[in-house]
């Protein structure tokens, strides 16, 4: 999976098409990512010691990784990602502009 936690992505299909947000969580075993402000659902919480009243919260749910593309802020567009070797280190780069991807925590 070429998208990692901390990457800036653009949603390319679905209800949230065109939305740009940061990846909060990457789920590589499921091929899904959780993006900030995308696929928000209402979730009911049972009362607990931490939250004695319970209630309804808004929560971001995972979307499939094929529905997002990395967002290149220099080119101001979504771009595909490739890999190349720089100084004996494998790095990701934007195929549209050729610049190296910054960010993304492992």
Residue 101 has pLDDT above 60, yes or no: yes
Q: Judge if pTM exceeds 0.85.
A: no
Domain count, the chain: 1
Residue 78 belongs to some domain of the structure: yes
Residue 53 belongs to some domain of the structure: no
Residue 50 belongs to some domain of the structure: no
Take residue 16 and report the two structure tokens written for it.
Answer: 């949230």
* pLDDT value of position 51: 85
Angle at 10 between CA 7 and CA 16, to 5 degrees: 130
CA distance 71 to 78: 4
Domain of 29 in residue numbering reads as 8-45+58-94
Q: What is the mean pLDDT of the chain?
A: 92
CA distance 30 to 62: 9
* pLDDT value of position 65: 96
Pick 50 or 69 by higher pLDDT: 69
CA distance 33 to 16: 14
Residue 99 belongs to some domain of the structure: no
- CATH code (residue 27): 2.30.30.30
């Amino acid at each position: 999976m070429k998208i990692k936690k901390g990457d800036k992505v653009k949603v390319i299909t679905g209800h949230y098409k065109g939305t740009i947000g940061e990846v909060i969580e990457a789920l590589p075993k499921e091929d899904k990512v959780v993006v900030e402000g995308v696929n928000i659902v209402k979730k009911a919480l049972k009362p607990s010691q931490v939250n004695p009243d319970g209630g309804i919260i808004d929560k971001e749910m995972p979307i499939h990784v094929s529905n997002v593309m990395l967002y290149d802020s220099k080119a101001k567009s979504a771009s595909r990602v490739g890999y190349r070797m720089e100084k004996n280190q494998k790095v990701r780069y934007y195929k549209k502009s050729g610049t190296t991807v910054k960010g993304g925590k492992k």
